[in-house]
Amino acid sequence: MPELPEVEGFRRRFARAAQGRVISDVITTDRTIVRNASPATLDRALRGHRFERPERLGKWLIARTDGPTVLLHFGMTGDIVAAPQAEGRHPHDRVIFVLSDGEVRYRNMRKFGGVWLAHDRVEEQSLIGLLGPDAAAVDRDSFVRLLARKRGSVKAALMDQTFIAGVGNLVADEVLWQARLHPERRIETLSPRARDALYDVMQDVLRRSVRRGGLPDAPGWFLAVRGEPDARCPRCGTLLARSAAGGRTGYFCPRCQRRSSARSR
């Protein structure tokens, strides 16, 4: 499932293929994937406009043109594919932006997420909804200040897009493992030092994942083993345990990530 690092990879791919190029045609092969416009409206609105530098906010890709903006969300299985014109189109290429030179495709097998057309910044805001600052861009002071307002499990908070945007189940599990925090640890019980450390670890995980173009499954990372049958902690060898914190099945090391505060439950 694409989280901030993958979507940043999509943004860069989109920029390389589309920035500065004129849209000659928008082909929608699945009309349900464009959530707020008909395929004809999307095509008419974009045709003849030039893509500008795409932006990212959390897990959203914001593809601006010198006219309207296209908002893309990748759900579970979304991807951005850049290819020469009409070459090897895939059945899951749902929206195809045909450019003056090549094309960019929004591919999505399971069709969560989608594509939206926004005519201006106000419409863009209302479509994206309430989001916290981008997890990779938020500064320490803002993070600590926003965290002070949160209650409940630390994992649910990290995954709450209205708190910070971009962290999903996988990034959260990696960050919590590296920070040695139990996913159900309550935020209220975190010391100032633990909050600072959480920020540092999150920035480090995001920076390194973005550099690699996505979440790593390299040795030493929790994500390399997480979810495998009988997976063991890469640090201490303990059998991993499951947690449903944040409403998603996650994994943690019961030895490295103790629920150390007695008043947490």
Find the shortest distance in angstroms from Cβ 212 to Zn ion.
23
Find the shortest distance in angstroms from Cβ 252 to Zn ion.
9
Find the shortest distance in angstroms from Cβ 158 to Zn ion.
19
CA distance 118 to 50: 15
Residues that bind Zn ion (CB under 5 A): 233, 235-236, 238, 253, 255-256
Catalytic residues: 2-3, 59, 248
Of all residues in this chain, which one has the CB nearest to Zn ion in the complex?
233
Q: In the complex with Zn ion, which residue's Cβ is closer, 92 or 226?
A: 226
Find the shortest distance in angstroms from Cβ 238 to Zn ion.
5
Q: In the complex with Zn ion, which residue's Cβ is closer, 238 or 260?
A: 238
Q: In the complex with Zn ion, which residue's Cβ is closer, 21 or 255?
A: 255
